[in-house]
Chains A and B, each alone.
Chain A
């Protein structure tokens, strides 16, 4: 955003504008860019998901719209969803029902602000970036609960309750898992965390044994955080029809959908900046001429692909097994991990 502001202040037409107007304009620009990026990115991921699913399942997936492997399928779907009738269930809680998809999408969208796509390529370089990202992505829970309660549907309610229990539970291992890295770098700023991994490949946090355990815990917990298989219990189309968004149609449904895919990117991007070397390629000589955002985005997209890949490979857990994995495996493990790392640091110094 600072970059935007600087650019604006140098532009001829903006000369003589008040500083507050300038910064407001810059905010608008930055927000617009992110919003556009999120929407287009999410559409791209939806297309990727369908293509990857198709190839995993020995079929093609979308093939026609856009002439090349159905690249414009998501846009066609978007238009279709816009034109669809907006159905309200009888006795739905109008306010909650309306606000739920917005909450879900906003939660995902807000996290984008702190993602460090490059050294100077970040919406807001917050010192509590990591904390902020976790905080905003749990806004999604509010949306899920609002959707489940507002729909006045028992299936939706079950999905919402599962979602709430799951996301809140998995936030603990998620947060604990990144703590050793935070201890090591001494910052919650995502940019600083990425910066700490400059240099050769082995300086990535992933290749530190303690951090590697953290990474595995983070990766699995993040699947639960974004409600993906094997942790897609809030949706479970075979049990809960479609979970918390059963009653949603048209654009409201699209917002849930966009939110889910945006969220997938967010958790992947955080993993990239904390564990996978951020925007660094791992070879210092290459870093000089490869654009940082490209590296960052490619790495994140790869992690998104991993999530898609897992979804089409694994069965889903049962709700009690899900809780078991969280409370009895991940939390003790991440606590032990944290403890061991602290011990090593205090001894080695």
Chain B
């Protein structure tokens, strides 16, 4: 597939391509800046490529080069399975033409590149910062930006400016033919701008949405993120590969285990490292545990948003049993840091299987109670069916993945489409919805809990004996008697501890199915002990970018029901 798509691109754009590469099976093409839009449009429309999903756009800074910035587009096709990485270079102060007209997911992705690198995108509809605040000076991910330099924001940003408020008036008058006009023909000022968040009970995490309300209906809305921004990607550049693992806990803190797995999976891809079978099976178990806990939190809180408070306890009690297992497994509840490059932090404890099975029966009970309470509940159905509905095409256009995308009817799941950790050998189904509304999202997640339980059951049955850490000396510490008795062992130990794991120069994109969609790490290594650049592709970033569009024309209560179902985790949204 890779070779074919590269060939195709070479035939079509021979002169525009600067470099073609398929290191580690990732098709990568570097094109001239002027041809970016054309090539991307081709990738999107060409029937054999059909890259309908723009996963993310990453920037990379090489200050020593003449055109110091690289802009990297990560493309995916849900129909043909094409994976493509398209790169271009741009000098400081130059602009790349926007692709937000091709994919709506490019809107926020480009804003992020602009924010963190200062690369401008020509023709971008909303060229503002996104993760850093509006008073921020400089661009945080540039190599010459000092890592310790924080900047305070003193005046909150007004999201809906006066012009926008007036613009909505004009828009409304047009669409509703004079309903808003009073006797003098002036626009009646009966719209109310209201701030949802950053501290609001329904804004899980710290999100801010400023909405313009006509009565209870949202006429216009704008969102602001970044309240939890700590520039994880900059931190990553300053740490050794192993040291980054604890940071991944803090991305999606609801399913930290899954994040741990995702990160080491990407690094191991760059190291071309084989992990022992036992560690692979345990990783499957813990990532499914993470998925279950994530879904429990998401559905539980979403039901709270709709007013069904009791379900929260039914799920959180079950989740508590899961957390007890997690705590006994890795000593922490939330910040698990369970994986290591090449293996795991430690083996399963004795009695893990019975503990986990017991916890899972509790989860099954909780799920049964909740489905009994809500699934056929008329009030719940009225509140959830048709609310926040997204069509499959739009969802892909916005870059949705995971349960949210599946609820629209697209059966895309990384575990099936690009199996990893041996997922192809497990027997499980992918639940899909029909309407992509709040109701389908909740039911999809509930069904995924059942499927994850199936996977865990199979994994527990097949769990082989053996080591949990790869013996590869590039990543594994040598055994103690070797360290104490031989100079090679001691050197090996010293180098690994002081300099960290050395990942060969190159770049790769490693991705797994996170609890909320495709969780990817695009990593550039220069062969030193630290990553040169690490870009996280958090599943909820593109999902939240569509939120304001999703809720326009809905009522406030619907917006809140919708937000809960999207499962926005501010930790990975803001990084």
- A and B are partners in one complex rather than unrelated chains: yes
Interface residues of A (CB under 8 A from B): 53, 56-59, 154-155, 158, 229-230, 232, 236-239, 241, 312-321
Minimum C-beta distance from B174 to chain A (A): 24
A-B CB contact pairs (8 Å), 27 listed: A53-B310, A57-B309, A57-B310, A58-B314, A58-B317, A59-B313, A154-B194, A155-B194, A158-B556, A232-B307, A237-B201, A238-B201, A238-B304, A238-B306, A238-B307, A312-B309, A312-B310, A314-B307, A315-B303, A315-B306, A316-B306, A316-B307, A316-B383, A317-B383, A318-B383, A319-B216, A319-B555
Within the complex, the shortest CB–CB distance from B322 to chain A, in Å, comes to 16
Place the interface of chain B in its size category. 20 to 34
Please, which residue of chain B has its CB at the minimum distance from the CB of A230? B379
Interface membership of B463, Cβ < 8 A: no
Interface flags, B285-303, vs A, CB<8A=1, else 0: 0000000000000000001
Question: Is B382 within 8 A of A58, CB to CB?
Answer: no
Q: Which residue of chain B has its CB nearest to the CB of A324?
A: B382
Given known contacts A312-B310, A314-B379, A239 and B557 CB-to-CB distance under 8 angstroms? yes
Chain A residues with CB below 8 A from B307, complex form:
229-230, 232, 236, 238, 314-316
Chain B residue with Cβ nearest A317: B379
Which one of A53, A313, A320 lies within 8 Å of B555 (CB-CB)?
A320
- Tell me whether B382 and A321 are in contact (CB under 8 A): yes
In the complex, chain B residues whose CB is within 8 Å of the CB of A155? 194
B199-217 vs A, Cβ < 8 Å mask (1 yes, 0 no): 0111000000000000010
Report the 7 A-B pairs with minimum CB-CB distance, sorted nearest first. Answer: A316-B307, A57-B313, A315-B308, A315-B307, A315-B306, A318-B557, A238-B305
Residues of A within 8 A of B556 (CB): 158, 239
Set of chain A residues within 8 Å of B377, measured between Cβ atoms? 314-315
Of chain B, the residue at the smallest CB distance from A157 is B192
Q: Flag if A239 contacts B560 (CB, 8 Å).
A: yes
User: Hey, which chain B residues are within 8 Å of A229, CB to CB?
Assistant: 307
List the interface of chain B (C-beta within 8 A of A): 192, 194, 200-202, 216, 303-310, 312-314, 317, 373-374, 377, 379-380, 382-383, 555-558, 560
Chain A contacts for B383, CB-based, 8 A: 315-318, 321
Q: A58-B317, A317-B379, A318-B555 are in contact. List 8 more A-B contacts (CB 8 A).
A: A58-B313, A59-B313, A236-B307, A238-B560, A313-B373, A318-B383, A319-B216, A320-B216
A318 to B304, CA, bound (A): 14
Chain B positions within 8 Å of A237 at CB level:
201
Cα distance A319–B309 in the bound complex, in angstroms: 18
Please judge, given known A-B contacts A230-B379, A318-B383, whether A241 and B309 are in contact too, CB under 8 Å. Answer: no
B200 touches A318 (CB 8 A): no
Q: How far is the CA of A236 from the CA of B559 in the complex (A)?
A: 14
B contact residues around A53 at 8 Å (CB)? 310
* Interface SS of B by simple majority: helix
Q: What residue of chain A has the Cβ atom nearest to residue B301's Cβ?
A: A238
Chain B residues with Cβ below 8 Å from A312 are 309-310
Complexed CA–CA distance, A213 and B194 (Å) = 42
Chain B residues with Cβ below 8 Å from A315 are 303, 306-308, 374, 377, 379-380, 383
A contact residues around B380 at 8 Å (CB): 315
Asked whether, in the complex, the Cβ of B194 is within 8 Å of the Cβ of A319, the reply is: no
Of A59, A236, A314, the contact of B557 (CB 8 Å cutoff): A236
Among B201, B304, B314, residue most surrounded by chain A Cβ atoms (within 10 Å) = B201
In the assembled complex, which residues on chain B have CB atoms less than 8 Å from the CB atom of A317? Answer: 379, 382-383
**Contact call A318/B558, Cβ cutoff below 8 A:** yes
Asked if B201 and A318 sit within 8 Å, CB to CB, the answer is: no
Min Cβ gap A251→B in Å is 24
Q: A54 — nearest CB in chain B belongs to which residue? A: B313
**Docked CA distance A53–B306 (Å):** 17
A238–B308 contact, CB under 8 A? no
A110 CA / B377 CA spacing, docked (Å): 37
In the docked arrangement, what's the CA distance between A320 and B202, Å?
Answer: 20
Could you tell me the distance in whole angstroms from the C-beta of A183 to the nearest C-beta in chain B?
A: 32
Which residues of B are found within 8 Å of A158, using beta-carbon distances?
A: 216, 556
B384 nearest CB neighbor, chain A only: A315
Out of B200, B374, B379, name the residue touching A316 (CB < 8 Å): B379
How many angstroms from the CA of A298 to the CA of B360 in the assembled complex? 42
* Chain A residues, CB < 8 A from B216: 158, 319-320
Residues from chain B with Cβ under 8 Å of A238 in the complex: 201-202, 304-307, 560
Nearest chain-A residue to B380 (Cβ)? A315
A232 to B307, CA, bound (A): 9
User: How far apart sit A229 and B560, CA to CA, in the bound complex (Å)?
Assistant: 17
The CA-CA distance from A237 to B201 in the complex, in Å, is: 7
Complex CA–CA separation, A232 to B201 (angstroms): 16
- A312 and B373 alpha carbons, distance in the complex (Å): 11
Residues in B neighbouring A239, C-beta threshold 8 A: 202, 556-557, 560
Query: Please, which residues of chain B bring their CB within 8 A of the CB of A230?
Result: 307, 379
Instruction: Report Cα–Cα, A319/B380, bound state, in Å.
Output: 14
Q: Smallest distance from the beta carbon of A49 to chain B beta carbons, Å?
A: 12
Docked pose: A154 CA to B317 CA in angstroms? 35
A233 nearest CB across to chain B (Å): 8
Closest to B303 in A: A315
Q: How far is the CA of A230 from the CA of B381 in the complex (A)?
A: 13
Distance between Cα atoms of A250 and B303 in the complex (Å): 30
Q: How far is the CB of B159 from chain A (nearest CB, A)?
A: 15
Chain A residue at minimal CB-CB distance from B305: A238
B311 nearest CB across to chain A (Å):
9
Distance A59 CA – B314 CA, assembled complex (angstroms): 10
Query: Roughly how many angstroms separate A57 CA and B310 CA in the complex, as a whole number?
Result: 6
Interface-central residue, A57, A315, A319, by most chain B CB under 10 Å: A315
Closest-by-CB residue of A relative to B559 is: A239
Nearest CB in chain B: distance from A319 CB, A: 5
| Residue among B202, B317, B558 with most chain A CB within 10 A | B202
- Taking CB atoms, residues of chain A closer than 8 Å to B373 are 313
